[in-house]
Structure 1
Amino acid sequence: MTVLHRGAPPLPPSVSPDRPRVTELRLSAFGRHRGLTFSLGPFTVLTGPSGSGKTSALRALEALAGLAGGASLADVFPDPRRYVPERARPDAQHRRGFHLGCTVEGPAGPVRLDLAVQAEPELRVVGERLTGPGITYLETALRDPGRRHVQAAWHTAGSVPVTRAPLPDDLLGTALLPLRVAGRTEGQRQVLAAAEQVVVGLRSVFACDPDPARMRAPVRTHTDRLFTGCENLASVLRRTRAECGTRHSLLVAAARAGLAGPVADVLAERTPTGAVRAVVDRGDGPRTPVERLADGELRYLALALVLLTGPRVLEVDTAAEVPEAYQNLTVLADGLDRGLDPAQSTELVALASRMCARGHIRLVATVGEDGPAVRAAREHGATVVDLET
C-alpha cells in the first residue's frame, strides 16, 4: 500500500474482533432504483452521473441506521413521497410505497433485514422480514389498515414454534425485539442475537457533509462533538489536539499535503470573546484563520478530521450497551470530492483507504463520475459501485 504522509507517525494496530457490519444494501423499489443490490466493503465509493441516485442510496442507509436506533418513520423519512418510484401505480386503496433492506454480517452469520414502507396515503410499515440462512427470525405484516400496528411473528422453537404479537407500525420491529423476547429458548436466543447484530451494525452512523459557509465563524468551546456540517470544527480541533498527539500529527500531515502553502500545525485559539477559531500555523509568522481558506481546503480539512477521529468525537448515536470494540463506526460522505482539486481528492481517498483498512472506520462515499477520486479508489482496492451500469 502507498505510504500516505511522509513524516507522519504510524498508528498503533487496530483491534478488529468480529464486529457486526453492513455488507449489502438492497433497494428493490426506492426512488429511481429498481432491483438494485450492491456490496458494501470497508471503503465503498458510489459513482455515476448526476441523477443516477447516488445520494438517495446513501440516504437509504442513513434511514435504516436511524430506524435501528429507535427513530420513527416520520423522523427518518420527513418527505416519504420522494422515495416512491416515479412510475409506481397505486393499488385499489390508493396506496404507494417503497422497499429497502440490507445484510449485516457478524457472529450470528449473515442476517437480512427487508422493509416495506407505505408512503401514501399515510406513512407506515406494512411489512418487515429478519432472516438468516434457512430461518425467519421475524416477520410482520399489516393485517388491519384501520389499526396503528402490524402483526408480528418471531421464532421461538419451544413448545410454541412461533410467538405472535402486535408491534407499532411506525417503528422498526427488529429494534424492538430485545424488549419483547425473553430469551428462554434456544430459538429466542437466536432471534435476540440476530436482532442485536443488525441493530449494532446499523447504529454508529455519522452522515458527514462539511459546509464551508458555516465553518468560518468562531464557536463556543463546549461543542466538542463534531456536527454533521462540521461547523464546530475549531472546538473539536482543540479537543483532539489535546487528547491524541498521534492522530493530530496525522491530521497535520494530511493538511500539509492538501492545503496551499506551508503547514506547521492546525490548531484552535481563543478569540477576545471567549470563543475559539481554527487557524493554520505556517511556522514562519502570523497564523492563517481558516476563514481565509478556500471552500475546497475547508472541506478537505474537515473530512480528514472525520477520518482520523471516532465515535466519541463525532456526533453519533452509538449502542451504549455494547462495548466500543464490538461496534463499527460507519461514515457516510455525500460528495467526498466536491470542491476538491485532483491532488486533494487523491490524498483524501488514500487517507480513507488507510483508515478503513485498519478497521478504524467504514466509509460509504459518493463521488463524481470518472474523476480522480474514482481512479484513486480503484487503485487502493475500494469497492466501487457505478450506479449507471
Structure 2
Amino acid sequence: MHATPAHATPAHSRPAVTELRLSAYRSHRGAAYPLGPVTLLTGPSGSGKSTALEAYACLAGLASGRSVAEVFPDPVSCVPEGAAPDAQGRRGFRIGCTVDGPAGPARLDLAVQADPELRIVGERLTADGRILLTTALRDPGRRTVQAAWLTGGPAGVTRAPLPDDRLGTALLPLRVAGSTEGQRRVLAAAEQVVVALRSVFSCDPRPDRMRAPVTPAGGRLHGDCDNLADVLHRTRGECATRHAALVRAARTGCAGPVADLAARALSDGRTVAELHRGPGAATPLGRLGQGELRFLGLALVLLTGPGVLAMDPAAELLPAQQALTVLADGMDRSLDARQTAELLRLALLCCARGHVRLTGAVGEGAAGAARGVPGVSVVDLTP
C-alpha cells in the first residue's frame, strides 16, 4: 500500500463511469442514472437498487474479459417482465454506460439476447457523436457478430467478425493497429471504457463469514470481507498512515474504546483479528455486532486500493492513473446513522483525492441524512 503522492494524476483525467443506462433490464426500462464520485441509490423495496448495481458489475465483468455466460448465469431473469419474443422467438435485454476521461465522454451500449440462446447481438461505442464501433448479428447460425470500427482515410471503416460471447470493445486493442487518426480515436475510447469498468470492486461484507479465524493467503480482501483478518495483518505493516485512519474510523463505528486493530496468529496457523482496547485488553472481531463488522469491512475497502483488493484492474495504466469504484449493495444494512455518516466521511475524503469512487445502495433513512451533504449525489429510483 502506498499513500497517494502529491503529484498524483488529477481526478478528472482518471477514466470513470458517469452514467449507467438500463434501457431494458429486469425491472428497469428507459432508465439512466448519473453517477458522481459518491453516489447513493435509494428508493423503496422493489425499486431496483440492487439490480442497478448488478448491471454495473456485469459490465465490469465483460470489460475484464469474462464471457457473457459467466457474467449472466441466469440471462432469462434479466429480460424485462412481460417482454414478448419476436417472430423468431428471441428475447433479450439492453444495458450501457458512459465513461468520462482523457478521451472525453464515451458511450457503450449493449443488446444481449437471452432466448433462445445467450449471445451479444449488438454493441455500439460512440464518442463526440461519432460511431467508433458497431456490431450486429447477421447470421444466427454463426457464433460471431459482424463488427465495423472507424478507420478514417479512404477506407472509412474496417469490417471483421468478432465472437458473440465477448465484449467487442475489450477486444479492440488486440485488433486495431492505431496507425490512423480514426484508429487512434477508437483505441483511446475503448481503452478508457475498459480501464474504468475493470477498476470496479463489488463489496457486501458478510458478518457470518467474518467471525471465524482465517488461513493466511496473500492478504487480498474478498468482496464479502471473510478474510479481513488476513488483510489487516498485511495493511497494518505496509501502510501506517492508512491503518491509522482505519483505527480512527473504528473509534467512531465500534462501541467501546479502540486503541488499535491487529491480527494475531493462532497455534494452528490461522489468523484472528482483534480490537485492542488498551493495555492487555483485546476483543476478537468475531464478538462484534453485525453492524460493527460491516462497518469495518467497508471502511477497509475505502481506505485501501486495487493492490489490496481481490480484483484485476486494467494493466494499461498505472494505479495512480485509475480510480477505484466501490459498489456497495445494502451499504447501510445493519449500520446505525453514526456508522453510515462515518463511511460517507471516509468516502468523501478518499474521493477528494481522486483515487476512489463509491456507488452504494441505501435505504431511504440513510439517503435522507445524506441529502444536502456536499459531494454526495442521491439518486432516487422508483419501482
Report if the CA contact (8 A) 1:237-1:268 is conserved. yes
Q: Deviations over 1:214-242 (max 9, x none)?
A: 11111122240000110100010010000
User: Match for residue 373 of structure 2?
Assistant: 379
User: Match for residue 161 of structure 2?
Assistant: 166
Q: Return the alpha-carbon distance in structure 1 between the equivalents of residues 242 and 270 of structure 2.
A: 24
CA drift at 1:377: 5.3
Which of 42, 45, 49 is equivalent to 2:40?
45
Q: Deviations over 1:125-184 (max 9, x none)?
A: 110000012311000000111111100001011221111010000000000111111111
Q: Deviations over 1:278-337 (max 9, x none)?
A: 000000433100111011110011111111000000011111232112211111000110
Q: Return the alpha-carbon distance in structure 1 between the equivalents of residues 113 and 368 of structure 2.
A: 36
Report if the CA contact (8 A) 1:45-1:377 is conserved. no
Q: Return the alpha-carbon distance in structure 2 between the equivalents of residues 199 and 377 of structure 1.
A: 31
Report if the CA contact (8 A) 2:16-2:101 is conserved. yes
Which of 197, 205, 211 is equivalent to 1:202?
197
Mark the CA change 1:374 to 1:80 in structure 2 (over 3 Å): closer, same or farther: farther
Which of 8, 18, 37 is equivalent to 1:15?
8
1:287 aligns with 2:290: no
1:149 aligns with 2:144: yes
Q: Return the alpha-carbon distance in structure 2 between the equivalents of residues 29 and 186 of structure 1.
A: 34
Amino acid at match of 1:383: S
Q: Return the alpha-carbon distance in structure 1 between the equivalents of residues 348 and 290 of structure 2.
A: 23
User: Match for residue 245 of structure 1?
Assistant: 240
Amino acid at match of 2:344: V
CA drift at 1:194: 1.0
CA drift at 1:14: 7.4
Q: Which moved more, 1:44-53 or 1:183-192?
A: 183-192
Q: Deviations over 1:171-225 (max 9, x none)?
A: 0000011111111111111111111111111112110010001111111222400
User: Match for residue 250 of structure 2?
Assistant: 255
Mark the CA change 1:209 to 1:235 in structure 2 (over 3 Å): closer, same or farther: same
User: Match for residue 3 of structure 1?
Assistant: none
Which of 43, 66, 86 is equivalent to 1:91?
86
Which stretches of structure 1, 4 residues or more, deviate above 3 A after TM superposition?
10-14
Give the 5 Å matches for 1:327-366. Answer: 327-366=322-361
User: Sequence identity, in percent?
Assistant: 65
User: Match for residue 25 of structure 2?
Assistant: 30
Which of 178, 182, 189 is equivalent to 1:183?
178
Mark the CA change 1:57 to 1:271 in structure 2 (over 3 Å): closer, same or farther: same
Could you tell me the TM-score, scaled by structure 1's length? 0.95
5+ residue gaps, structure 2 = none
CA drift at 1:16: 3.3
Report if the CA contact (8 A) 1:207-1:331 is conserved. yes
Which of 314, 320, 332 is equivalent to 2:315?
320
Q: Return the alpha-carbon distance in structure 1 between the equivalents of residues 368 and 248 of structure 2.
A: 23
Amino acid at match of 1:15: A
Could you tell me the TM-score, scaled by structure 2's length? 0.96
User: Match for residue 388 of structure 1?
Assistant: 382
Mark the CA change 1:121 to 1:76 in structure 2 (over 3 Å): closer, same or farther: same
The count of residues paired between Structure 1 and Structure 2 equals 379
User: Match for residue 213 of structure 1?
Assistant: 208
1:104 aligns with 2:93: no
Amino acid at match of 2:291: G
Report if the CA contact (8 A) 1:345-1:373 is conserved. no
Report if the CA contact (8 A) 1:367-1:374 is conserved. no
User: Match for residue 236 of structure 1?
Assistant: 231
Report if the CA contact (8 A) 2:202-2:223 is conserved. yes
Q: Return the alpha-carbon distance in structure 1 between the equivalents of residues 163 and 337 of structure 2.
A: 49
CA drift at 1:359: 1.0
Amino acid at match of 1:175: A
Q: Return the alpha-carbon distance in structure 2 between the equivalents of residues 377 and 366 of structure 1.
A: 14
Q: Return the alpha-carbon distance in structure 1 between the equivalents of residues 151 and 38 of structure 2.
A: 37
5+ residue gaps, structure 1 = 1-9
